[in-house]
């Protein structure tokens, strides 16, 4: 797949995340729908990088240590993001009522949402730094080659 298209999705993920992570700026209603929008772009992001994941595993067996560390980080990132989405939905004042639903347990889900958002931010910083060279390669190169 064209690295430039992948880079565009990476940048969209970053921008959507940056807006979604600041409910004080957008208001909580917009924040909730945008948070769900982030889910869509992040699923696209993961799907688009899947080729690279498989390719790296095949061609760079000697770099398994680093690769494994990145996989663990990615798995934690996905877990934090999922915790953030689920807890956000459970305290939602716009999305859930729009679906005709209501959830109990505000005092459990609300601190979880705030905490998972902070863990997500920390992991995302590491993820972006760890993958920056690969993402930036999209600006310079075509084709499937990419280094770590």
Residue 21 in contact with ligand HEM, rule: CB under 6 A? yes
Residue 14 in contact with ligand HEM, rule: CB under 6 A? yes
Task: Give 19: exposed, middle or buried? Use CB within 10 Å, 0-12, 13-18, 19+.
Answer: middle
Residue 89 in contact with ligand HEM, rule: CB under 6 A? yes
The site map against ligand HEM for 39-58 (x = CB under 6 A) is ---x--xx--xx-xx--x--
The closest of 59, 75, 13 to 38, measured between CA atoms, is 13
Nearest distance from residue 64's CB to ligand HEM, in Å? 12
Residue 36 in contact with ligand HEM, rule: CB under 6 A? yes
Residue 117 in contact with ligand HEM, rule: CB under 6 A? yes
Residue 9 in contact with ligand HEM, rule: CB under 6 A? no
CA 43 vs CA 37, 49, 50, 88, 142: distances in Å: 10, 10, 11, 18, 23
- What residues have CB less than 8 Å from 148, skipping those under 6 apart? 56, 60, 63, 66, 67, 133, 134
Q: Under a CB-based contact definition with an 8 Å cutoff, are residues 138 and 7 in contact? A: yes
Task: Give 23: exposed, middle or buried? Use CB within 10 Å, 0-12, 13-18, 19+.
Answer: middle
Tokens of 114: 């705030």
Q: Which of 3, 83, 112, 135 binds ligand HEM (CB under 6 A)?
A: 135
Number of residues near ligand HEM (by CB under 6 A): 46
Residues that bind ligand HEM (CB under 6 A): 10, 13-14, 17, 20-21, 23, 28, 31-32, 35-36, 38, 42, 45-46, 49-50, 52-53, 56, 70, 74, 77-78, 81, 84-85, 88-89, 91-93, 95, 110, 113-114, 117, 120, 124, 127-128, 131-132, 134-135
């Amino acid at each position: 797949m064209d690295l430039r298209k992948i880079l565009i999705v990476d940048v969209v993920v970053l921008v959507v995340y940056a807006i979604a992570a600041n409910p004080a700026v957008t208001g909580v209603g917009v924040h909730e729908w945008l948070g769900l929008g982030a889910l869509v772009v992040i699923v696209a992001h993961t799907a688009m990088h899947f080729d690279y994941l498989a390719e790296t595993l095949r061609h760079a067996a000697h770099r398994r240590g680093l690769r494994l560390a990145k996989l663990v980080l990615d798995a934690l990132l996905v877990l934090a993001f999922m915790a953030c989405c689920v807890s956000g939905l459970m305290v939602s004042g716009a999305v859930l009522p729009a679906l005709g639903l209501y959830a109990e347990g505000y005092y459990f889900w609300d601190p979880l949402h705030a905490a998972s958002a902070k863990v997500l931010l920390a992991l995302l910083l590491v993820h972006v730094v760890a993958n920056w060279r690969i993402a930036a390669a999209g600006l310079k190169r075509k084709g499937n080659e990419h280094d770590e």
